[in-house]
Amino acid sequence: MKDQLDKLRLNALELIGGLDDEKSLFDVRTRVLGRKGELTGFLRGLKDLPPKTRAEIGQLANLIKSELEQKIDEKQATIREKAEERKIGSEFLDVTLPGRRSIPGRTHILNRVTDELIQVFNGLGFQLAEGPEVELDYYNFEALNIPRDHPARDMQDTFYLSDNVVLRTHTSPVQIRTMELQKPPLRVICPGKVYRRDADITHSPMFMQIEGLWVDQGISLSDLKGVLTAFVQEYFGEKLGLRFRPSFFPFTEPSAEVDIQCVICGGEGCRTCSSTGWLEILGAGMVDPALYRFVDYDPEIYSGFAFGMGIERVAMLKYGIPDIRAFYENDVRFLNQF
Ligand code: PHE
């Protein structure tokens, strides 16, 4: 019996000595010391021995058991230590290497100008409103007093997605959407992308507009003039004058095109303003009472004004950018200037 135990011990020690991974070590532990293991089975068999031999062999077997347990534990520690060393070795960090520079992005110039405009109009009490770029014919035209087959549709060469769905040609549909949802008083500013079939150095098929709308009791043309003057002086400079030229839009009456004194020459006349001293920046007017029919407002009680301007145009004037295509080419040399 002693020989048997000795053999078991030597076998196990040899096995343990030759191992170098945790998984095999675990297997050996189970095979020898586990509940169905060799040594465990041996210990269980002791109860059939005469008491004297049982005590002697039992003592020996228990000694071997703790010896093996200790050896396995030691081996496990060594294996883990080696694994750790290997890991540290492979993750060696050369602190003398040059660092990797991370290049932070920045807000696109058009988004920045949009934010600036929103901020100025926020200051004048206008709240942000938005609408979809894929728009129903109804909001883009019908409810803005531009019926089907009306010649005014020619002013905006339109991308039709189907008979009733267009890419919005201006931000004015947000006027209708906002009035549908809210009763006056109402004062909103609505920036966003718009689309027209048009492309040259001052026109892009996709561009941005910002729309303003203020409806309440007793709003008049002088309020429109006051708001736009405050805006121009805040954004472009204290001394710039404004000029209203009579114009036509189906959704405003009366309508005007608004010019500001040239931001480059201050009104003297230069290349940018074609020597006129003036730059056109927006369309505006008093909301045509015909629109109130579509949104269930009483035109006897309420009046309002609306205006819309091209954000690229504003950005070009504010930052002296000569070609509208620069905004969309994504040339970082251009974008990095702002
Ligand atoms: N929607 C008009 C355009 O795109 C601009 C405009 C807006 C005019 C609001 C009057 C009032 O040309």
Segment 274-327, tens digit of pLDDT: 999 999 999 999 999 999 999 999 999 999 999 999 999 999 989 988 888 899
DSSP lists the bridge partners of residue 213 as 188, 306
Q: What is the pLDDT of residue 186?
A: 97
Distance 249 CA to ligand 1 centre (A): 7
Q: How confident is the model at residue 229 (pLDDT cuts 50, 70, 90)?
A: very high
Task: Give the range with max mean pLDDT: 52-66, 215-229, 234-248, 264-278.
Answer: 215-229
Cis peptide leading into residue 191 (ω within 30°):
no
175 lines ligand 1 (CB under 6 A): no
- CA-atom Rg of the chain in angstroms: 41
Q: How confident is the model at residue 90 (pLDDT cuts 50, 70, 90)?
A: confident
Q: What is the pLDDT of residue 207?
A: 95
pLDDT per residue as tens digits for the range 11-31: 888 888 888 888 988 888 888
Among 265, 258, 253, which residue's Cα sits nearest to residue 305? 253
Burial of 79 (0-12, 13-18, 19+ CB in 10 A): middle
Q: What DSSP string runs through 239-259?
A: T--EEEEEEEETTEEEEEEEE
Q: What is the pLDDT of residue 53?
A: 84
145 lines ligand 1 (CB under 6 A): no
Taking residues 37-65, report their average pLDDT. 85
pLDDT reading at 155 higher than 80: no
The CA-atom distances, in angstroms, between 301 and each of 50, 113, 220, 251, 252 are 115, 36, 13, 18, 17
Q: List the residue whose alpha carbon is closest to atom 10 of ligand 1.
A: 284
Query: How many other CB atoms are found less than 10 A from the CB of residue 7?
Result: 10
Q: What is the pLDDT of residue 125?
A: 97
Q: What DSSP string runs through 9-66?
A: HHHHHHHHHH--SHHHHHHHHHHHHSTTSHHHHHHHHGGGS-HHHHHHHHHHHHHHHH
Identify the three-state secondary structure at position 100. coil
Q: What is the pLDDT of residue 156?
A: 76
Q: For residues 269 and 252, what is the distance between their CA atoms, to the nearest angstrom? A: 31
Of 251, 257, 305, 313, best ligand 1 pocket probe by most atoms within 8 Å of the beta carbon: 251
pLDDT per residue as tens digits for the range 184-200: 999 999 999 999 998 87
Q: How confident is the model at residue 162 (pLDDT cuts 50, 70, 90)?
A: very high
Q: What is the pLDDT of residue 89?
A: 84
Distance 209 CA to ligand 1 centre (A): 9
Distance 138 CA to ligand 1 centre (A): 16
Distance 284 CA to ligand 1 centre (A): 6
Q: What is the pLDDT of residue 93?
A: 82
Q: List the residue whose alpha carbon is closest to atom 3 of ligand 1.
A: 170
Query: How many other CB atoms are found less than 10 A from the CB of residue 244?
Result: 17
Q: What is the pLDDT of residue 216?
A: 98
What does residue 105 show for φ and ψ, rounded to 5 degrees?
A: -80, 180
Domain boundaries, the chain: 2-90, 109-335
Residue bearing tokens 């890419």: 167
pLDDT reading at 94 higher than 90: no
Query: 294 with 273: CB under 8 angstroms?
Result: no
> What CATH number is given for 109-335 in this structure?
3.30.930.10
Residues above pLDDT 70, as percent of the chain: 100
Distance 287 CA to ligand 1 centre (A): 11
Q: How confident is the model at residue 211 (pLDDT cuts 50, 70, 90)?
A: very high
Distance 250 CA to ligand 1 centre (A): 9
pLDDT reading at 251 higher than 90: yes
Of 249, 251, 286, 314, best ligand 1 pocket probe by most atoms within 8 Å of the beta carbon: 249
Query: How many other CB atoms are found less than 10 A from the CB of residue 103?
Result: 6
